[in-house]
Structure 1
Amino acid sequence: MSGRRVLAIDAGQSGMKVRLDVDGAREDLVFRGIHTGGPLLPQLARVVHETQERVGGTLDVVSAGISGLTDRDADADALLTLVRDAGVRGALLAHDSTTSFLGALGDRHGAVVAAGTGVVTLAVGARAIARVDGWGWIMGDAGSGYWIGREALESVMRAYDGRGPQTMLTEAALARWPDLSQAYMALQADADRVRIVASLAVDVARAADAGDAVAEAISVRAARELAHSARTAIGRVRTGAEPVAVCAIGGVFGSATLRGAFEDAIGADGEDFRVVAPQGVGIDGAVALAGLSPTHPLTAAVHRAGVV
């Protein structure tokens, strides 16, 4: 479908990356992130219309990977109705685990672990796909930035009480809450508490790499959780003993201690799982979504409407 104007959207809570791709020529834009307190589809439609105002011309296809996409919001027909006036003839919506996979591994088989504030793992085999975790900070996201930050805070308060060993992480907590006895009240009252807790993952990484035993232990536990998710997902789609590519993306893997422990855990039991570098990022995957083969296993995870 040469010459069609594909508008790709990588929609996250911290920002929406947009790429207009026409026969290899591209324009990249950034918009404010998803507001989770409001309806999703009008927010995507606003981005489509604002992009059209900036670049001009009609748009043929909108292809979006969306953080935390639920079945309730995955209504491609409804989105198409909202953007038909921009000339759009087709719409594709997918969970960002799908577009993260396509960005990182393209059409290869394997698994992608995307770990930032939250975490989700997606494995793709010859005939099936498997998603593991991505269930949010209340009931999942094992090994994520939030999970690491929560472990750090518990360790700090154990040290404060005398129930656990001293740790460099106490300094990081004191920088945020000078009176640790009141920290829990301030944090519970803060509407931004999930991001704040997750931000401590950076301090854990720094302390672990500096040799702090508590931070090292947290990092290793997180790595093992992430590797367990990857190995579980692969086990659900693997049909033989072929080597499997594993891609680890997201800020959590910026920790040298955690990344090393993850690579060790992935290769446990002699499994031929190979950690590889990503070939691209989420916005690249949102672009690839528009060209996904009908026979690709990930096609079943994409919501479509119109001419795509």
Structure 2
Amino acid sequence: MSVEAPARILAVDAGQTGIKARLTGGGMPAERLFPGILTHQPLFPQLARVVREVLDAAGAGPGVTVTAGVSGLTDAEADAAALLAVIADPRARSVRLAHDSTTSFLGAIGTGVGAVVAAGTGVVTLAVGPTRVARVDGWGYIMGDAGSGYWIGREALDAVMRAYDGRGPRTALRSAVEARWPELPQAYIALQSADDRVSIVASFAAEVARLADAGDAVAQSISERAGSELAHSVITALVRVDAGVGEPAAVCAIGGVLRSGHVRHAFETRVTAGHAEVHLAEPRGTGLDGAVALADLPAQHPLSAHVSTATA
């Protein structure tokens, strides 16, 4: 009796901070980490390079299914056939492509009912009800991403410049900013001209978390407001999909921003106070696990309508 070889899946979790890839099905999973998406450059060539590098490094043969969850994926970009064409590699047999809110949800909750907020450099919330799906925020650093690492960093820079002008209270955040730009009045010029300005701004979120723990009132206020914004998005999403009606809906909060104790406390306090039928849950897995799960997502699941598929 022949034993069918396990399907090979090349899963990609693509964000602005980094791109993670995992090749499964050929023995021990092989994982790689690449630099994050450059939002000012075309997306598909960046993903295609990652796919080909992983396949080359693993010496993979034909029949690989590529599954990808991508931060900031627009409706126009959600075209698996177009990505498959750009990959242009006979080893890639098919592609399943989705916004990373979908893969974050699958990794954290699986195919159940609830909401996941994923807060890193950017942020997006996805809720899945019995029949409907709702995405809240994820509108990028210019128009949205409230409570994200970028949002926190931007609030920190604003607070520092307000203090410098005399428009706001003093804060230890000033020292953190001056460590990067000793000539504070010239900082905005250097920042605006930097290609990686989004990640630079988001990097200050770690200083906000550290100084909030150290007792800086401005850093604490920023952290608490970030947690409140994230909770507001979750509550809104749950209401839109009728999740938590009759039984509590699972709520997962993932991403580096939630490592801040002040952010997480504010988030959990508002979520539980603002929507009675929820229970806070630890994530089952990561966004990369969710990308792997795209390969076996049931066609009848509400999220299936949000996954683009193509086969060579």
- The bucket for the TM-score relative to the shorter chain is over 0.9
1:206 Cα offset (Å)? 1.0
How do residues 49-128 of structure 1 correspond to structure 2 at under 5 angstroms? 49-56=52-59, 57-83=61-87, 85-128=89-132
Task: Decide whether the 8 Å contact of 1:52 with 1:58 is kept in 2.
Answer: no
Query: Once the two structures are superposed, what CA deviation does each residue of 1:56-76 show, in whole Å capped at 9, x if it has no partner?
Result: 222331111111111222221
Q: Deviations over 1:32-51 (max 9, x none)?
A: 43333433223333333332
3-state SS in 2 of match to 1:111: strand
Q: Is contact 1:5–1:58 with CA below 8 Å preserved after alignment?
A: no
Name the counterpart of 2:213: 209
Measure, in 2, the Cα distance between the counterparts of 1:109 and 1:2: 33
**Deviation by residue 1:152-207 (Cα, 9 ceiling, x = unmatched):** 12211222222222111122122122222222222222232221111111111111
What CA distance in whole angstroms lies between the structure 2 residues aligned with 1:186 and 1:49? 35
What are the equivalent positions in structure 2 for 1:261-280 lying under 5 Å apart? 261-269=266-274, 271-280=276-285
Matching of residue 291 in structure 1 with residue 285 in structure 2: no
Distance 2:26 2:247 in 1: 35
User: For residues 150 and 294 of structure 1, what CA distance do their matches in structure 2 show?
Assistant: 41
Letter in 1 for 2:201: V
Alignment RMSD, CA only? 2.0
1:47 aligns with: 50
Match of 1:126, SS state, is coil
Check 1:83–1:174 CA distance in 2 against 1; reply closer, same or farther (3 A cut). Answer: closer
Describe the shift of the 1:24–1:282 C-alpha distance in structure 2 as closer, same or farther (beyond 3 A).
farther
Q: 1: distance between equivalents of 2:310 and 2:168?
A: 56
Unaligned runs of 5+ in 2: none
Deviation at 1:251, TM superposition (A): 1.0
Between the aligned partners of 1:265 and 1:242, the Cα distance in structure 2 is 19
Q: Does 1:170 align with 2:169?
A: no
Residue type of the alignment partner of 1:62: V
Greater CA deviation, 50-59 or 101-110? 50-59
Identical columns (%): 60
Normalising by structure 1, we get a TM-score of 0.93
1:230-267 Cα shifts (integer Å, max 9, x gaps): 00001111252320111111111111111111110111
**SS state of the match for residue 185, structure 2?**
helix
Which of 177, 181, 198 aligns to 1:194? It is: 198
Please state whether the residue corresponding to 2:29 is helix, strand or coil: strand
Question: Cα gap change, 1:289/1:197 in structure 2, threshold over 3 Å: closer, same or farther?
Answer: same
SS of 1:279 mapped into structure 2:
coil
The separation in 2 between residues aligned to 1:155 and 1:178, in whole angstroms, is 17
- Provide, for residues 85-143 of structure 1, a one-character-per-residue CA deviation record: whole Å limited to 9, x for no partner: 43433211001111111111111211111111111101111111100001111110111
Distance in structure 1 (CA, Å) of the matches to 2:40 and 2:161? 32
Secondary structure at the aligned position of 1:121 is classed as strand
Q: Choose the corresponding residue for 2:18, options 12, 15, 18.
A: 15
Q: Note if contact 2:114-2:251 (Cα within 8 Å) is conserved in structure 1.
A: yes
The answer as to whether partners of 1:52 and 1:59 remain within 8 angstroms in 2 is: no
Specify whether residues 3 and 263 from structure 1 end up closer, same or farther in structure 2 by C-alpha distance, changes over 3 A only: same
The answer to whether 1:305 aligns with 2:310 is yes
Q: Distance in 1 between matches of 2:35 and 2:193?
A: 25
Q: What's the TM-score once normalised by structure 2's chain length? A: 0.91
Residue 281 in 1 paired to residue 286 in 2? yes
AA aligned to 2:259 is: G
Give the aligned residue type for 2:46.
Q
Letter paired with 2:114? G
**Matched-pair contact (CA < 8 Å) for 2:11–2:21:** yes
Q: Secondary structure at the match of 2:296?
A: coil
256-265 vs 40-49, which deviates more?
40-49
